[in-house]
Amino acid sequence: MADLEIVQFIARSDNYAVLMHDPDSGKTASIDAPEAAPIQAELEERGWQLSDIFITHKHFDHIDGVSDLRRAYNCAVTGPRKSASETGLYDSTVADGDTIDFAGHSIKVIETPGHTLDHVSYYIADQKLLFAADTLFALGCGRVFEGDAPMMWTSLKKLRDLPDDTMVYCGHEYTLANARFAVTADPDNEQLAARLEEIEEQRAADEHTLPTRLGTEKITNPFLRADDAAVAEAMGMADASPEEVFAEVRGRKDKF
């Protein structure tokens, strides 16, 4: 079985579009559909036919392109069961623990609510790929709109449990702003300080900072480290629970 080819590019202003292509079968999936035109242009340039769209959550900047892409390619649209009736866009729905076959690769559905209640992440163990959309970002996490901080923390811990060598694709290029905040939440973390410098250089050169390696996130992303003494201490919350520390980190980032 061949490895999946992954292509990532910007759509809208700061959303990432991601295409996943199986060279053997020709099947091609879009992870979310932020905007039809750039996705269609990329498909045409590569001579790929879109067979599937996997939706992570119901926000407009993740589903806006679905109808046009379906019209153009007659592709199958899969999305979270929890937003099926609200969006009216999915041909089939998924919930926590479901597995979907994509060209012989098993995609595991991990419910990661918090940003929205319907949010799911897609994990392909044999390819070491995680599509975390607006739950986990490089050095950040999504804003908690519909859930609460303990819910988001629980979701992030589910993703943190995956292997270090997992490559994480995210919904947005927010890494530099996240990095500038992260160093305030984990000020003595030398690996984080080094990573901020690297990210500043990458962004100055207009390079993508994603995907990111999960093992790197585990040691540098303060939103995955709310149960680490260093982050609790930086929040002035040495005796607080990880849920409370996480809520404080998220709250400070919202105002940063």
Task: Kindly tell me which of 51 and 56 has the beta carbon lying closer to Fe ion.
Answer: 56
Q: Is 58 in the site for Fe ion (CB under 5 A)?
A: no
CB nearer Fe ion, residue 35 or residue 134: 134
What's the chain's Rg over C-alpha atoms? 18
For Fe ion, which is the closer residue by CB, 15 or 127?
Answer: 15
Q: What is the 3-state secondary structure (H, E, C) of 19-57?
A: EEECCCCCCEEEECCCCHHHHHHHHHHHCCCCCEEECCC
How many CB atoms lie under 10 A from the CB of residue 201?
10
**59 near Fe ion (CB under 5 A):** yes
**Closest separation in Å from C-beta 39 to Fe ion:** 17
The token duo for 7 is 């292509």
Q: What residues numbered 11-30 form the site for Fe ion, per CB under 5 A?
A: none
Nearest residue to Fe ion, scored by beta-carbon proximity: 59
Binding part of the chain for Fe ion, among 53-61, 98-106, 147-155, 226-234 by CB under 5 A, reads 53-61
Q: Which of 35, 134, 173, 186 binds Fe ion (CB under 5 A)?
A: 134
Contact indicator for 132, 121 with CB cutoff of 8 Å: yes
Closer residue to Fe ion (CB): 59 or 108: 59
Residue count, binding to Fe ion (CB under 5 A): 2
52 vs 134 by CB, closer to Fe ion: 134
Task: Return the HEC string of 126-164.
Answer: HHCEEEEECCEECCEECCCCCCCHHHHHHHHHHHHCCCC
